């Protein structure tokens, strides 16, 4: 993880400040507010601000004053009920704002979640840092033969070293050309006083998508859980999953009852189609059923069998 001196000083300054408030706070989240949690080789996630906690969800669901019921078990039970039955509006009453540093190709995948407010670092105004993502050997997989957008077996050590060297060499060369187009080095010194600087908005276009960007990302709790259900899934691309797993741990600190219900009913729960549910009922009765009899497609039947750990 790489933090600039300015960012380190900002974190130190923010963590020394305290404010009196009448608002509900989450003590466990307050403990790590502004702290940067490393992801990949140069990335990080940190919580910058938030609104609400588990009690705010209960309050919104009951449209009550204060913190609602004083019985913790009732609050927990209501949150589980809401998530179990997909009554999601009360979860939209809580929001959280992250500062995230991530490779550009991860950002392009991430931005497909259009339910957040985003403000990204601008390469038109500022010079991009010389930081780029190089996958480690254990994450260099060959193209999957069964999944067009996934990875298969790992590359051999020889292939992996070659790929990493090629990626690093390309990124180094691209950044050197970027500095040349800007006519200045990473410290802001002019290279050739007789040459013009190319506009930053143009100089950046030769950089590859493994270079790092940063953004502030603000989202409500309901949509955050949707993001995490997809991106913390084992089938998600490793690089974005690494961020989602860090954010899962932050979710647990922020709203522990909601986190518990999310794991129970969303992340590690299961949903069945009409045909899948009918097949499950037959299996529970001890009856045999084939894919053809189930009415499911081959792919759905495979997913169904894997979910229930049935022999294919």
Over residues 188-222, the pLDDT tens digits come to 778 878 888 888 889 999 999 999 999 999 999 99
- The answer to whether 62 is a known catalytic residue is no
Rounded to the nearest 5°, which phi and psi values hold at 57?
A: -70, -45
Over residues 115-125, the pLDDT tens digits come to 999 999 998 88
Q: How confident is the model at residue 187 (pLDDT cuts 50, 70, 90)?
A: confident
Domain ranges, ordered by start, for the chain: 5-133+210-267, 140-209, 274-307
Q: What is the pLDDT of residue 65?
A: 55
What angle in degrees, to the nearest 10, is found between the helix axes of 274-284 and 298-307?
A: 50
- Tell me: pLDDT of 183 over 70: yes
- Residue range 5-133+210-267, CATH number: 3.30.1360.170
Among the listed residues 75, 66, 131, the one whose alpha carbon sits nearest the alpha carbon of residue 103: 131
Over residues 261-311, the pLDDT tens digits come to 999 999 989 889 999 999 999 999 999 999 999 999 999 999 999 999 888
- Tell me: pLDDT of 1 over 70: no
Rounded to the nearest 5°, which phi and psi values hold at 74?
A: -70, -40
In whole angstroms, give the CA distance from residue 192 to residue 180. 9
Residue 217: strand pairing partners: 98, 118
Q: How confident is the model at residue 155 (pLDDT cuts 50, 70, 90)?
A: confident
Q: What percent of the chain has pLDDT over 90?
A: 65
Q: Active site residue: 46, 204, 231, 266, which one?
A: 231
How far, CA to CA in Å, does 193 sit from each of 28, 184, 186, 189, 197?
54, 10, 16, 10, 9
- Tell me: pLDDT of 69 over 60: no
For residue 178, the SS3 value is: helix
């Amino acid at each position: 993880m790489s933090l600039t001196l300015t960012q380190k000083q900002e974190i130190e300054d923010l963590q020394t400040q305290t404010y009196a408030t009448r608002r509900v706070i989450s003590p466990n989240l307050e403990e790590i507010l502004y702290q940067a949690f490393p992801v990949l080789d140069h990335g990080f996630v940190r919580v910058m601000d938030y609104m609400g906690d588990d009690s705010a969800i209960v309050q919104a669901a009951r449209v009550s004053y204060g913190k609602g019921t004083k019985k913790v078990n009732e609050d927990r039970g209501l949150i589980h009920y809401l998530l179990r039955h997909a009554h999601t509006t009360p979860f939209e009453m809580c929001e959280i704002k992250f500062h995230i540093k991530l490779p550009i190709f991860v950002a392009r995948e991430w931005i497909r979640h259009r339910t957040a407010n985003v403000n990204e670092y601008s390469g038109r105004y500022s010079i991009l840092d010389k930081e780029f993502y190089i996958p480690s050997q254990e994450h260099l997989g060959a193209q999957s033969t069964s999944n067009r957008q996934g990875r298969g077996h790992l590359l051999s050590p020889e292939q992996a070293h070659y790929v990493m060297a090629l990626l690093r060499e390309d990124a180094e060369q691209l950044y050197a050309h970027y500095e040349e187009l800007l006519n200045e080095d990473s410290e802001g010194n002019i290279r050739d006083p007789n040459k013009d600087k190319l506009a930053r908005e143009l100089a950046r276009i030769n950089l590859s998508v493994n270079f790092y960007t940063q953004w502030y990302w603000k989202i409500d709790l309901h949509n955050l859980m949707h993001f995490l259900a997809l991106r913390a899934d084992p089938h998600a691309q490793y690089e974005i999953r690494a961020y989602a797993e860090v954010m899962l741990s932050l979710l647990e600190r922020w709203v522990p009852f909601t986190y518990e219900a999310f794991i129970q009913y969303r992340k590690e729960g299961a949903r069945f189609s009409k045909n899948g549910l009918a097949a499950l009922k037959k299996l529970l009765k001890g009856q045999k059923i084939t894919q053809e009899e189930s009415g499911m497609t081959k792919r759905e039947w495979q997913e169904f069998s894997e979910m229930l750990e049935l022999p294919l």
